[in-house]
Amino acid sequence: MAAGAASGGSAATDTYKEARTWLLMPAWITLSFLILAPVLLMLVYSFLTKEFRGGVVWEFSLSAYDQFFFDRGLFGDEPAKIEWTYITIFWRSIWQAGAATLLSLLIGFPTAYFIATQPERVRPMWVFLITIPYWVNLLIRTVSMKFLLRDQGPLNDLLISTGLIDSPLHIVNTNFAVQLGLFYSYLPFMVLPIYAAVERYNFTLSEAAADLYASKMTILRRVLLPAVKPGVIAGCILVFVPSMGSFLAPDLLGGAKNFMIGSLIEEQFKGNAGNWPFGAAASMILLTMVLIILLIFARQQAKAEKET
């Protein structure tokens, strides 16, 4: 199309340009109204003053950021001290999301590999089966998970009846329960990109490595993983990023002790007790952190690429 337009003179080129502008409109509209505008709105709100029954007063203020990082305020009479409450929540979010991502990778990679090595005609069925639980609302699934894991729930009943444990394991309201919840929520986002990568993988490469005296573990580490790395990275990002900002799993499975940044933000916009600028500021901090983490990741990838 491009080559044809180039040889067809200026009239054809203009038509092509015009068509391209119109054809790209849906993409531009989506990007600007659904992604850029909300983010800009949040950025603006984070620098406004809070109104007491929710909402904002249109007056510039840094108090939201001040409240997030400092005790008693940076601009108060007494010397400022760092406020650890929110930073701890933040740190916990990174840690929880990281653990959930690792868990998803450990379970998701073998699953994806399994599906990709099935006969071609049954692969769509396996992918379909992976997605079936996602037809049910996430809230309902997370609540169900709480019922499954609670002290008198089926899991503990089973473990006790088989004699593995004497008294119920307290899983609900622990960090582990949150990780489990996040893992369960986002597992397909790990499985599907890895599946796509492994499906494209040339299995003769594994044969060649085995032929050259490599053990199964060495083949995985030196040949398969480097070849499907883009899929693994995509899967990790797709699980880590939404896990960071998630509030359902931490709220329902983690309890008050295991608060995550998503819940903190959610609370600021709920009912009359909220603080919109503070919620917006926390969102902007979350966004910045995720971007920084991704950037560091991308940098290291590029560096590793150069070295080999």
Partner 1 sequence: MSDTSQIAIDVRDAVKRYGDFTALKQISLSIMDNEFFTLLGPSGCGKTTLLRMIAGFEDVTEGAIFLYGDEIENLPPNKRPVNTVFQNYALFPHMTLLDNVGFGLEMRGASKSEARRKAGEMLELVQLSQFSARKPSQLSGGQQQRVALARALAPRPKVLLLDEPLSALDLKLRKAMQLELKHLQRETGITFIFVTHDQEEALTMSDRIAVMSAGEMQQLGTPNDIYERPHNKFVADFIGETNLLEVSVDAVHEGRATCHLGGGHELTCNAVTGIGVGSKVHMSVRPERLFTSDAPVEAESLKGKVVENVFIGTDISTIVNLDDGPQFTIRTSNSDRGNKRIFDQGAEVFVNMELGAARLLVD
Binding site for partner 1 (CB under 8 A): 202, 204-205, 207-215, 218, 222-223, 226-227, 308
The candidate with the shortest Cα–Cα distance to 260, out of 275, 282, 280, is 282
Least separation, in Å, of the C-beta of 259 and partner 1?
42
Structure tokens at 303: 């560096």
> For 295, how many CA atoms within 13 A lie in the half-sphere containing its CB?
6
Task: Choose between 166 and 305: whose C-beta lies nearer to partner 1.
Answer: 305
Least separation, in Å, of the C-beta of 219 and partner 1?
9
Task: Choose between 21 and 215: whose C-beta lies nearer to partner 1.
Answer: 215
Least separation, in Å, of the C-beta of 306 and partner 1?
12
Least separation, in Å, of the C-beta of 113 and partner 1?
18
Task: Choose between 160 and 214: whose C-beta lies nearer to partner 1.
Answer: 214
Least separation, in Å, of the C-beta of 214 and partner 1?
5
Structure tokens at 194: 């890895």
Q: How far apart are CA 94 and CA 288, in angstroms?
A: 13
Q: How far apart are CA 267 and CA 250, in angstroms?
A: 13
Q: How far apart are CA 93 and CA 244, in angstroms?
A: 6
Task: Choose between 180 and 219: whose C-beta lies nearer to partner 1.
Answer: 219
Q: Is 70 left (phi over 0), alpha (psi -120 to 50) or beta?
A: beta
Structure tokens at 150: 């609670």
Least separation, in Å, of the C-beta of 303 and partner 1?
15
Task: Choose between 152 and 202: whose C-beta lies nearer to partner 1.
Answer: 202
Q: Which element (helix H / strand E) includes 70?
A: strand 70-71
Residue 287 vs residues 8, 31, 40, 154: alpha-carbon distances, Å: 46, 17, 12, 38
C-alpha dihedral (98, 103, 109, 115), degrees to nearest 10: -130
Amino acid identity at 63: S
Task: Choose between 22 and 213: whose C-beta lies nearer to partner 1.
Answer: 213
- The length of the chain is 308
Least separation, in Å, of the C-beta of 296 and partner 1?
22
Task: Choose between 9 and 119: whose C-beta lies nearer to partner 1.
Answer: 119
Q: What is the CA radius of gyration of the chain?
A: 25
Structure tokens at 86: 């929110």
